Amino acid sequence: MNNFKRILSAIAISTVALGALFKIMHYPGSGLLLIVGLGCLSLLLSTLLIIGIFKSSEPGLSTVCKILSIVFGIILLMGVLFKIMHYPGSALLLLISLSMFAMIISPLSLISGLKSEQSVFRKISVTSGHVILTLLLLGFLFIVLHWPGAKTILILGIIATGIVWLPTFIYAEIKDQKPVSITPIVFGFGIAFFCLFVLKTSDIVSINIHDGFKQSAISIIAANSNYEKINTALVEKCLNDTVKYSAIIQDVKKISALSDTMCTQIRTIKSHIIAGVDFNENNSAMEIIDSYYKIMSWDNTDIPTRILCGKDDAGIWLEANLSELKQSYIDIVEKDSSLSRLVNLLLSTDNLYNQQNDETTWTNNCFWYRPALGVLNTLTRTELNVRIAESEILSQLIVNAELKSK
């Protein structure tokens, strides 16, 4: 039985590692590998849970801790899988499992451990170890859920490992006249160094991704503002000479009204996302809508997904309105095939194919579990496309009217 568990563990861990590598390198098959690997780990934990329950003759506190650890360990593995695969519910699974480990399992394990220890320094070592572990679990929970203070909690946990837990552990071993066990030290510092690696990696990745999103946002916002000014000038040109442009004046007004309505709707969605991720009122969110790259929780994925792909259904509504707008534009310029193709390209909401070559809707492809700043960029780019289409149509209508007036 032990050999079977070792073989299953080795296969599962190797599969998960390979799946993670495929995911990072965007190779096909990463999802299957991760599902199989984490599924095997869950199966192993389930087996241990069943065996532990039947073997335990005295269901004391330590047995309860073991059972809870295995149950919520499985939930944690599922949360990690859901997070990697961008499935809905990952945040809830991670919140439940990490909270249980930090708030329930770790304290119960501490109480159980203190009962079996007699030495004062041994009790201090056990207590500090559990407190530090709780801090690190909370730090990871805060990182996963994008809550403020995550780095501070992890740094406190790492520092406490070196200046509190390690000295008390070594002193307790020496005090009890035991050879110092290297395994707990390696394990403790392994966790600490892993936390440092996560902090460093997340900082580098976050800075690079944020800078990329920020530069894109600045460019798109500037371009959108320029096209808005150009279109306003084109409309005013027509309205100031109603005789010369009498044949197109109604179309010009219609196009301008349709574009303004669509862009206002997009900006409303953006304000809801900004208000959701940074907990601002919608009024104050509108004030920073043209500098939305300054939001703090720029990498939040849950709020944009809920607003655009969840119960709010703003994405489906936006997709339908864009399709309707595109058709209205095409109806106006139906005699100009090249302009119709351009409008169709700019405002396309056709189904797309993801990295696994599966067909997906335009809404899900653009907004499903994407970082808030990326979603805001996509919405602003959509707004820009509306303005570009408006500009091209207005320019062509004015040119045609001028040619006819000569």
More confident residue, 122 or 104: 104
For residue 394, what are the domain limits? Answer: 222-405
How high is the pLDDT of residue 25? 67
Flag whether 260 is in a domain. Answer: yes
257 pLDDT higher than 80:
yes
How high is the pLDDT of residue 164? 81
Flag whether 216 is in a domain. Answer: no
Last residue of a domain, one of 56, 74, 101: 101
Flag whether 210 is in a domain. Answer: no
How high is the pLDDT of residue 69? 78
Flag whether 178 is in a domain. Answer: no
Find the helix or strand (DSSP H, E) in which 392 lies.
helix 372-405
Residue 243 and residue 94 share a domain: no
Flag whether 201 is in a domain. Answer: no
58 pLDDT higher than 70:
no
The Cβ of residue 353 has, within 10 Å, a number of other Cβ atoms equal to 10
Flag whether 193 is in a domain. Answer: no
Q: For tokens 């869950």, name the residue.
A: 42
Classify 57 as helix, strand or coil.
Answer: coil
CB 397 within 8 A of CB 248: yes
Last residue of a domain, one of 69, 101, 133: 101
Residue 233 and residue 96 share a domain: no
68 pLDDT higher than 60:
yes
Structure confidence at residue 223 as a pLDDT band (50, 70, 90):
very high
Q: Kindly list the distances between the CA atom of residue 146 and the CA atoms of 93, 160, 358, in Å, as whole numbers in the listed order.
A: 15, 23, 29
Range with the largest mean pLDDT of 86-95, 299-308, 352-361 = 299-308
Q: How many domains does the chain have?
A: 2
Residues 20, 123: Cα–Cα separation, whole Å: 39
Last residue of a domain, one of 101, 136, 168: 101
Find the helix or strand (DSSP H, E) in which 349 lies.
none
Flag whether 368 is in a domain. Answer: yes
Flag whether 329 is in a domain. Answer: yes
Which residues make beta-bridge pairs with 360? Answer: 352
How high is the pLDDT of residue 189? 63
Classify 179 as helix, strand or coil.
Answer: coil
Structure confidence at residue 326 as a pLDDT band (50, 70, 90):
very high
282 pLDDT higher than 60:
no
Range with the largest mean pLDDT of 32-36, 134-138, 148-152, 189-193 = 134-138
Query: What sign for the dihedral angle of Cα 164, 196, 85, 40?
Result: negative
pLDDT, tens only, 357-397: 667 888 888 888 888 889 999 999 999 999 999 999 999 88
Residues 281, 275: Cα–Cα separation, whole Å: 6
